[in-house]
Structure 1
C-alpha cells in the first residue's frame, strides 16, 4: 500500500467471558460470539475512513430492541448517527472499557485513492475482523488449553455486503470457515448492540483525527465540516488548495487539482 494503515485496539478477556464462552460452546443451539463491524467517513473529501470491530459481553450482545443493555453503562447506546456528539464522546471510553475486545482501523486517503472508497472500507472491515478473531481465538485457546478453536463467531457488518475474509490467516489460528457466519445488516448500527458499539468507536476516533487536522489547518474549518463536501469546505479548497490528506480520487478534489 502507498500509505500506512493503522490498527489500534484492546482485549479484555475476563474469567467471566471465558465461562460464558464455555457455556455457549456447550449450548445445544451453539449460540455464537457476536462481533459488530461498522465504518465512519465514507463520504468526506478529506482524511481517512475509520472501521471498527467490537465484541460486547455476552449478556449485552443482541438486538437493541430486546434491550440487552438495559441497566448497563451502555444503556443509551444506539446508532451513533442518532446520538449527539456529546453523547458519542461520553460513550466512547465506556465502550472501550467494557468491550471484551475491539479493533479500529484507520485507512488513509492515499489508500482510498489507490483502491477506491468501497474497497478501502471492505479492506478495513476485513482487517478489523481478522485481527479481532485471531487475537481472541489464540487467547481463548491458551486459556482453555483447547486443541482446536472453541469459538463459533457471528460477524455482523453494517451495510449491504460482507468483505471476503482471509481464510488461510484464520486457519493458522485454527479458525475454520464453518465456524464463521458473516452477515450484512442494512442500518445494522440501529439493530445490533455490537454494531452500535463499533459505530461509536469508528465515528469518535475519526472525529478526533479531524480535530487534529483542524489544529494544523485552521483556515479550512475542518472542525465544523469534518471533511464532508460542504460549501464552506469547497470554498476553502478553492482558496487555500488541496491538502495531502484530501482524497484526490473524489470529484470536487480532482476538479480543484485540474483547475490549478
Structure 2
C-alpha cells in the first residue's frame, strides 16, 4: 500500500448523517445529527477476503475492532471508531502480528504518548482496509445518556461498515456472475458489553445474525490490534475536535484539559459560563447552570 491511496479509485468514501433512529423499538428524532465518516479500500478488501469459489463457499472471517474516546469529559462529543486491518495484521497484540509493519508501535491509545498517537492516526487511516469514525454530539449524550450514546455510536459504526462491505462483495459477485457467499464477521468491542445491532436491517444487506459474532473485551484495546486501531482513530479524532473548539473559546483552556473536569475547567465554567458544547446532563455542568 502506498501514498497513491489518496487518489485511488478503489477507495470508497463513507459519509453518513443520522438524524433519527430506532432505539430499542422506539423511533426517535435525535437532538442533533450524528456524523459518520471513513472509507473502504475495495481492492484490498476483495483481494484479502476472497476465496476460491470452486473449493469453498464460505467467506473468510472479517474482523472489525471498535473503541470509543470521551465518555468522561463534560464537554464535546464522544467519538467511536471502527477499523478493519489487513487480515495478516489482525490478531492478539501479544502475538505481535504488527511486527515489521508501519503500525508496529500500535497498542492501546492510552498507553501511547500523544506524539505517537498523532503518528499512528494517518497510518491507521492509510493502511486499514476500512474504517468509520462516529461523532456523537453533546446534545445526543444529554438526550439518551452517555452509556446509550456510546452504544449507539458503536452500533452505527458496526452497521455502517458491514453494510458497505456487504454491498461491495455483492457488486463484485454480480460483475463476475458468482453467487454471493455469506459474509462472516467478527466484531470486537472494547468494554464489557456489546451494542444491540439492527439485525433486520443487516439481513436486508445479505448478512444474517448467525454470521455476525459480537464479542466484548475488557481492556480490548490492549489485546486486539483491530480494537487498538479503533482506539487511535477515536482518541485522535476527538482531540482534534477539542483543539478546534479551543481556537473558538481560548479562555476555557480546552487544549489542555480536553473537556475533562479539571480544576481549571471548572473555574472557566464559573467565570465564563456554559458553552453549547457542554453536556448539560453531567452533574458539574447542571450545577453550574442552576447556580
TM-score range, shorter chain: over 0.9
Q: 1:29 to 1:10 in 2, by over 3 A?
A: closer
Describe the SS at the equivalent of 1:246.
coil
Structure 1, unmatched stretches of 5+, are none
Q: 1:54 to 1:24 in 2, by over 3 A?
A: farther
Structure 2, unmatched stretches of 5+, are 1-29
1:92 aligns with 2:121: yes
Q: 1:106 to 1:24 in 2, by over 3 A?
A: farther
1:136 aligns with 2:165: yes
Match in the other structure for 2:102? 73
1:20 aligns with 2:48: yes
Q: Distance in 2 between matches of 1:76 and 1:202?
A: 17
Q: 1:150 to 1:28 in 2, by over 3 A?
A: closer
Larger helix fraction of residues: 1
Q: 1:35 to 1:207 in 2, by over 3 A?
A: same
Match in the other structure for 1:211? 243
Larger strand fraction of residues: 2
TM-score, normalising length: structure 1: 0.95
Match in the other structure for 1:251? 283
Q: 1:152 to 1:86 in 2, by over 3 A?
A: same
Give the RMSD, CA atoms, in angstroms: 1.7
TM-score, normalising length: structure 2: 0.85
- The number of aligned residues is 258
Describe the SS at the equivalent of 1:23.
coil
| 2:145 aligns with one of 97, 106, 116 | 116
Describe the SS at the equivalent of 2:169.
helix
Match in the other structure for 1:201? 233
Shift of the alpha carbon at 1:144? Answer: 2.7
